[in-house]
Structure 1
Amino acid sequence: MTINKDVCLATENGSDLDNAVALFHSLSDGTRLAIVRRLAGGEARVADLVGELGLAQSTVSAHVACLRDCGLVTGRPAGRQVFYSLSHPELLDLLASAETLLAATGSAVALCPNYGADAGSGVTA
């Protein structure tokens, strides 16, 4: 997706925007984001992720498969095991930028009525 910094407009090509939406959607689930953050520290097997995240093997496998299908994670077979790692180091830059933005906004996104911590709970500010 091409962004013009002067006027902050996306390109006319809708597929660029669709691709960006798909990328951010793939990272919008807390479990997938936790897996990506863990893999930022090095490769891991599903069994490692299950132990570290405290989730069911089927849950972790499904989320790893989603990330793999999106091209964000790759698997390296080693015998009967598969070691997963991030496919693109640029993903680390994206995560770092997100952390910078969260710090700059004082994590105000947590107050968002649609996506914040209390979203859907009926709590209003």
Structure 2
Amino acid sequence: MQTVDLDLKVKFLHGFSHKVRIQILDSIQEGEKTVSEIMSDVQGSQSNISQHLACLRGCGLIAGRQEGKFMYYRLRNDQIRELLDMFDDVLTDVESDVITCESDVAE
């Protein structure tokens, strides 16, 4: 089994730790979209969406490509798509426990 640096793992998981970032990931799960299309799906401002897109890129979850004046974002690879599907499957199984989870537990 491969050992992954714990701090690196925490940084990676940070990409999944905000509602808007999850909405963005869901928005682009089936294909690439422009910032405007993502803004429409998520109902957020350009500056807010751009900040979250930067975080997702920094966490290695998404990739972007420039075409003319438009930037297109997509999931980085099929493993990220599979991971998002796996999150949904696991959540379905543990949903009742998650609902009662105390999210404000001290570090």
Same structural fold, with TM-score higher than 0.5 when normalized by the shorter chain: yes
1:102 aligns to 2:102 (yes or no): no
2:57 aligns with 68
% identical aligned pairs: 32
Question: Runs of 5+ in structure 2 lacking a partner?
Answer: none
Cα deviation digits, residues 11-33 of structure 1 (max 9, x gap): 4x6x2x22221111111101011
Cα deviation digits, residues 18-76 of structure 1 (max 9, x gap): 22211111111010111011111110111111112111110001101111122211111
1:30 aligns to 2:48 (yes or no): no
| Higher CA-based Rg | 1
2:74 paired residue among 85, 105, 108? 85
SS in 1 for 2:17: coil
Whether the 8 Å contact between 2:12 and 2:60 is mirrored in structure 1 is: no
> What is the root-mean-square deviation in Å for CA atoms of aligned residues?
1.9
- Structure 1 CA distance, aligned partners of 2:59 and 2:12? 8
Q: Normalized against structure 1, the TM-score is what?
A: 0.75
Q: Normalized against structure 2, the TM-score is what?
A: 0.86
Which aligned runs of 4 or more in structure 1 are off by greater than 6 angstroms? Answer: none
Whether the 8 Å contact between 1:77 and 1:83 is mirrored in structure 2 is: yes
- Greater share of helix residues, 1 or 2? 2
Cα distance, 1:35–1:107 mapped onto 2, change above 3 Å: farther
